[in-house]
Structure 1
């Protein structure tokens, strides 16, 4: 198994096609998951929700949702209930189809709280897509029109949501998201979060949602989001407190492209929490991937090396996928790249994970070449000698024929790397 693999079949095929197109001799094996892995369970529950809705098996949806109120969660701490409703609400790409399916569900089961919540979440997701994860000053008139249309419908549904709906923790998360986008007063959102955590103190999505809402670009002050996470982790205390802290940061690392800008998190506590979690779930590749990703961000080369070799080198999360597939202009995390470029002034030494991979896994060098030229190698400057080997190996061209290998600059910028590689 090569680390270009991704957490579900569709992404895996996309990655495999991309890698095989450039490296026809690279061997990729079918993706295998261990029972209970976070990525596997997330995909399965999302697929189950979408399939039940498409088949109009509304009674089974209600039974499944009721069973999952027990709080069963995966290694990431994400409840299966939230994934089920992600599948019911759908993605923005199939909004029109999902809108018709949920409308049919609402007609067939007009008293269903699950149907109401799925409809509100669907429209709130559409509003988030229009709003984007940035400051309000960046919203264009066209984006504002889409946002207002989605909010009008989701807000109407929220106002008519009966109290019985709040027997599910998901209702509080949906209400917080909808209220935030609709411009609800800070006091209202504070009270809603307090009520939710009092009733469901262990429901992790409440804290993850609140952390994003407390960012300065929404309704918080600098440092307020992290203070909330730390306070709750201290209340839990011990190993479980560290695991809570690590899980929230893990989620934020995947849900926001600006983790380093938004959260000056305590990496030592994240490291401890993920280590404790990995001991409890030693076969979880998702936990191993999270440890790799966050260790790499913090330049913890020792942990990075350990995770690149465990379990058996099978790192299957998005931390590998984003290194293996070139980023385009629309999804390229330039701000975070620039942040890390400034922080990493020293060239990597023999303990650096890429140096380790290059020397210990020569059969995978072509994949590592692609990692470096994909445009996402901002966490460290690449030594000139290794850079020459990488590009010569990838392009089979002498150094003199590659313009930006002629100079011995200390580091490549992400933009230069992406632009110049495209010109070969």
Structure 2
């Protein structure tokens, strides 16, 4: 018990240290000890995970962990492991910021679509949407082409109000030119949901102004009106349901009504994983759910006929990860299920560097060193900045993965 007590005191003092230095002078601030291993300790830092070997620690810190030179076997093992790691790290490929060719292909598609939209070439927009919708086309990362079509029409949040009003006029002209077009109505409704959120802001409810609430409600109501009007249009569009789910979240629909909408959507297109992301977002505690609800609801979709299996689970965890510092520590999300889902994704979309990188980063957050190391081997030093942050973060995670 004395050993355990001293170890707890050591961990507490280390976790609160503002200035923790190795014998080589390297400094860690505000670290916490995640795990003690036979040859060292695993630290959590703001930039990720780091493995520190006992031989890197000052003697007094080593002694707190009951590792010292007198313990010849332990000390020798730590020294050998540290030396092996340093040699292995030195042989790793250099880190190089890289672009994903599939992401670049998507951006080119979006640029082409946006040019048609900016020029109000409604006939060509209609023809393009009709083609990709009928083909149920997806890019090499599993992203639906019809989703990318609509997303290419969006207005950036930092655009001035005059630009948003210009977009509103383009959509009104499109509706007038194509009064029975499902594409025009879905695009306009999608724009209005974005315009509604611009008025509301992205903060919690207590940060929204009275005028913000008024415009939010007004614009969502207009979006719903467009969706109601186009409900019987042919052909059907999978994004119609996705936009309606966004309206439902903003308007605070009851769970029964929302679930019916979700089930109708999945009946229409079981493989459209955007519905599952929308439902999980609705069930976030910051919106209409309670802790654990989105995680439980997600498990109910694993065996849906004609669905994607655990790919859907992985897609949702990947999408919602941005709401948390570590989704596996802060929620009931299952790493084994997410891992199995990502293995399916890798089989189906083997050329996506973005998905490989995202899978690797989640493996690091889950502290699955075996999987993370395998994926870093496949990355070979290629780093996508919007996933890893910067080269320092990438290097810290990679160093941890290759520690023993």
TM-score past 0.5 threshold = yes
Residues 76 and 247 in structure 1, CA contact (< 8 A), matched pair in contact too: no
Q: Between Structure 1 and Structure 2, which shows a larger proportion of strand residues?
A: 2
Give the TM-score normalised by the residue count of structure 2: 0.65
* Separation (CA, whole Å) in 2 of partners of 1:259 and 1:143: 31
* Separation (CA, whole Å) in 2 of partners of 1:207 and 1:109: 31
Match of 1:229 among 268, 276, 298: 298
* Unaligned stretches of 5+ residues in structure 2: 1-93
Task: Report the counterpart of residue 139 of structure 1 in structure 2.
Answer: 208
Task: Report the counterpart of residue 189 of structure 2 in structure 1.
Answer: 120
Residues 242 and 270 in structure 1, CA contact (< 8 A), matched pair in contact too: yes
Give the TM-score normalised by the residue count of structure 1: 0.63
* Separation (CA, whole Å) in 1 of partners of 2:306 and 2:337: 12
1:81 equivalent to 2:146? Answer: yes
1:154 equivalent to 2:218? Answer: no
* Separation (CA, whole Å) in 2 of partners of 1:32 and 1:135: 34
* Separation (CA, whole Å) in 2 of partners of 1:153 and 1:142: 17
1:109 equivalent to 2:174? Answer: no
* Separation (CA, whole Å) in 2 of partners of 1:290 and 1:300: 14
Report deviation, 1:145: 3.7
Task: Report the counterpart of residue 265 of structure 1 in structure 2.
Answer: 333
* Separation (CA, whole Å) in 2 of partners of 1:213 and 1:134: 15
Report deviation, 1:290: 1.0
* Separation (CA, whole Å) in 1 of partners of 2:354 and 2:182: 32
Match of 2:233 among 164, 181, 191: 164
Task: Report the counterpart of residue 383 of structure 1 in structure 2.
Answer: none
Equivalent residue runs for 1:239-388 within 5 Å: 240-254=308-322, 256-257=323-324, 260=327, 263-316=331-384, 318-320=386-388, 322-323=389-390, 353-355=398-400
Residues 292 and 307 in structure 1, CA contact (< 8 A), matched pair in contact too: yes
Partner SS state of residue 390, structure 2: helix
Say if 1:73 and 1:49 are closer, same or farther in 2 by CA, change over 3 A: same
Deviations 1:37-87 (A, max 9, x none): 2x2344233323311111222122112212222322235432110110011
User: What is the total number of aligned residue pairs between the two structures?
Assistant: 303
* Separation (CA, whole Å) in 1 of partners of 2:304 and 2:225: 36
Say if 1:306 and 1:96 are closer, same or farther in 2 by CA, change over 3 A: farther
Aligned-pair Cα RMSD in Å: 3.3
* Unaligned stretches of 5+ residues in structure 1: 1-26, 327-349, 360-424
1:56 equivalent to 2:125? Answer: no
Q: Between Structure 1 and Structure 2, which shows a larger proportion of helix residues?
A: 1
